[in-house]
Structure 1
Amino acid sequence: MTITPFQALACPLDGEPLRQCDRTWRCAGGHSFDVARQGYVHLLPVQRKRSRDPGDSTEMVAARQRFLAAGHYRPIAEAVSRAALEGLSADAEAHCLDAGCGEGHYLRELARLADGKPPLALLGVDISKPAVLAAAKQDKRARWVVGSNARLPVLSATLDRLLCLFGFPMYDEFARVLKPGGLLLQVDAGPDHLRELREIIYPTLKPERAGNPETPPGFTLLGTDTIRYPLKLAGAQPIADLLTMTPHLYRASAVGRAQAAALETLAVTVDVRLMRFERGLDDNAPG
C-alpha cells in the first residue's frame, strides 16, 4: 500500500517551509519543533491556544475511538472516502488533509479503501493533543500534527483533498492550502441527526436551520449528498460513548444526562450532509 506522510508543512510562527532533520522540523527562520516519541509533531504555538488544553479531552477521544471502531459511522467514512478518491489519478500521489482529524479514523478508512491506488500522502491536524496522540499510536503511515484550522501549518496550494467532518471550517485557510481544482469535503449534521437522543436529553429541540449553508468565497458547490440510516445501540457503553463524543454532553442538563445514562438500548437516526466544494481556478479566490 502506497501511503506516505505529508511533507509540505509550514512553520506556525512565520509560515516558512519546514524541513525535517532526524527528529526535528526546522524553518529558515530558526524555529524548530521536535517529533514526539509517539511520532506526532506539536505545531500549535502557546500564544494561539484559547485554553490550556484545547479540543477534545482524553475521555472524549477514547469514547469516539470505541464508537467509530465498532463501525457505527462506517457508511459516513465510506461515502467520504469514495468522494475523496473520485477523480484522482491512479499513478500521481494525492495530498490529503483531515482538518480536525480526531483520533484518525477517517484517514485510516480512506487509506484502507484506496488500497494503494492512488498513492496518498496523508496529514491529520487537530487542536486536541490527546486526539493526535491517539491517532499517532494507531497509524504510522500518516503525518499527525497538533495544530489549528484557524492557521493550518501547511504550505499554500499543496492539497488535492481536504476533509472537514463535524468540524469547524475555516474557508479562507482551506482555500489557501488547497490546489486550484482541489476538493473540500465537508460533513455536517442534518436536521434529524441523533434526534432521538436529543429528544431524551433536552426539554425541547431548537428549530433546525433550513437548507444548505452558502457556498464559501473561492469555492464552487459540486453537489450535496445525504447519508441517512437507522442505528441501534445495545448496552450502556456505546450509548454513553455516543453522548460523550458529541457537544451534547456539555449542553444537556443533569437531568437529561441521567436519563441517557439509564438507557440500555437506543435507536437513533444518523442523518448527515456531505458537501463537495471545488477550489476556484481564478486568481480572485481567497488565499
Structure 2
Amino acid sequence: MSSIPFKAMACPLDGEPLEMLGSTWRCAAGHSFDIAKQGYVNLLPVQHKRSHDPGDSKAMVAARQRFLNSGYYDAIADAANSIVEAHRARSGLSHAPYSCLDAGCGEGYYLRQLAAAVSDSSPLSLMGLDISKWAVLAAAKQETHSASWVVGSNAHLPVQSAALDCVLCMFGFPVAGEFARVLKPGGLLLQVEAGPNHLRELREVIYPTLKPERSMAPNMPEGFAHQQTLSCCYELLLEGGEKIADLLAMTPHFYRASAEGRARAAALETLTLTVDVRLVAYLRV
C-alpha cells in the first residue's frame, strides 16, 4: 500500500484548515495542536468532552486489541474492504489518492486491514479518529506511517467540509449530519452494525432475558441515498476463559450486564457464538 499524508484536517475551535508545521498542526488564527511523541494529535477541546476521560477505557482497548488481532472479525473487515474497493473502482479513483476517515476507529484494526488490502498502485489518505485517547494511543503505537491518528468526536469532526471519499463507522456512533458535511458528493458512508443474532449466545448467558429485537430496516440518514446492505454471518468458537473475557470487555454488554451475569460469563471455558452483522452502504447525494 502506498499512502499520502492526510491533509484535510480542520481546527476543532474555528473549523479553519489545519496545516502541519514541523510537529504541530496550526490554523490561520494561530490555534496549534502538537503531535504527541507516539504519533497522534489531540483535537478534542475540553468543551466537547462529556467526561474527564471519555470513550473506551484502557482495559477495554487492550481487550479489543487482543481479540481483533486474533482474527475473529477478519471476515467483517474483508467484507468492508470489498465495498470500499468497489466504490473506488466505480468512482474512477483506483489510481488516485482516496481519502478515508474511520470515525470511531478504536485501536485501528479496520483501518489497518483496509490499508493492507489496497495494492501499491492505489494510494490512500487515511485518518483514524476516536474520542478515547487510549484507543488512539494504541492505534498510533501499532501503525504510525500509513494513517493520521486523532483524538476527536464524531459530533464535531475536525475535518474540512466535502474533503473525503469515504467514511467508515464500524460499530460506532453515527452522526449523519457531520458525515454528510465531510463527504464529497458521491462519497461512501459505510456503517457496520450488529444484527439481531449478533453474539446472541453470550447475551443469553449474561442477561436474564433478551429484549425484543428492534426493526433492522435501514434508517435513511439525511443527505444520503441507500446503496446496498450486506449481511455477514458465521459461527465463532472461543476456547479459553481469557478470550471470552476479552470479548465481553470490549462490548457495551460488560457495563450493561449485572455482576451475576458477568460472573456466569467468567465461569465459561468455551463458547460457540453467532457473529451477525450488516454492512450498510450509503452514497452522499
What residue identity is the alignment partner of 1:28?
A: A
Secondary structure at the residue paired with 2:244? Answer: helix
Instruction: Tell me the SS of whatever aligns to 1:226.
Output: strand
Distance 2:100 2:217 in 1: 24
Query: Are 2:111 and 1:107 aligned?
Result: yes
Superposed CA offset, 1:66-109 (max 9, x none)? 00000000000010011111132221110000000000000000
1:92 aligns with 2:119: no
Counterpart in the other structure of 2:38: 38
- Could you say which residue in structure 1 is the equivalent of 2:76? 76
Aligned residue for 2:47, secondary structure, equals helix
- Residues 227-262 of structure 1, C-alpha deviation per residue, up to 9 Å, x if partnerless? 000000000111000000000000001110000000
Pairing of 1:1-287 with structure 2 (within 5 A): 1-88=1-88, 89-140=93-144, 141-280=146-285
Code of the aligned partner of 2:66: R
Q: C-alpha separation between the residues in 1 aligned to 2:135 and 2:120?
A: 25
Partners in 2 of 1:246 and 1:15 — Cα distance? 33
Distance 2:125 2:169 in 1: 17
Amino acid in structure 1 at the alignment position of 2:264: Q
Contact map agreement 2:10 2:16 (CA 8 A) in 1: yes
**CA positional deviation for 1:7:** 1.1
Structure 1, unaligned stretches of length 5 or more?
Answer: 281-287
- How much has 1:48 moved relative to structure 2? 0.9
Instruction: Give, in angstroms, the shift of residue 118 of structure 1.
Output: 1.9
Q: Given residue 247 of structure 2, which amino acid in structure 1 is its aligned partner?
A: L
**Residues 213 and 4 (structure 1 numbering): CA distance in 2 closer, same or farther, change over 3 Å?**
same
Distance 1:113 1:10 in 2: 28
Once the two structures are superposed, residues 152-180 of structure 1 have per-residue CA deviations (whole angstroms, 9 ceiling, x without a partner) of 00000011011001010000000000000
114-123 vs 30-39, which moves further: 114-123
Deviation at 1:132, TM superposition (A): 0.2
Instruction: Answer yes or no: is the 8 Å Cα contact 1:5–1:123 preserved in 2.
Output: no
User: Residues of 1 paired with 2:36 and 2:140: CA distance?
Assistant: 10
Q: Does structure 1 conserve the Cα–Cα contact (< 8 Å) formed by 2:241 and 2:269?
A: yes
TM-score calculated relative to the size of structure 2: 0.97
For 2:151 and 2:190, locate their aligned partners in 1 and report how far apart those are by CA, in whole Å: 21
Unaligned runs of 5+ in 2: none
Distance of 2:248 and 2:4 partners within structure 1: 34
Amino acid at match of 1:270: V
CA-based RMSD of the aligned residues comes to 0.8
% identical aligned pairs: 65
Counterpart Cα distance in 1 of 2:121 and 2:206: 44
| Partner secondary structure for residue 184 of structure 1 | strand
* Partner SS for 1:3: coil
SS at match of 1:86: helix
2:4–2:97: 8 Å Cα contact kept in structure 1?
no
Deviation at residue 212 of structure 1 after TM alignment: 1.8
Letter in 1 for 2:45: P
Show CA shifts across 1:121-160 (max 9, x none): 0000000000000000111120000000000000000110
The amino acid that maps onto 2:53 is D
Secondary structure, aligned partner of 1:4? coil
SS of the equivalent of 2:251 reads coil
> Aligned partners of 2:104, 2:264: CA distance in 1, in Å?
30
Distance 1:238 1:273 in 2: 24
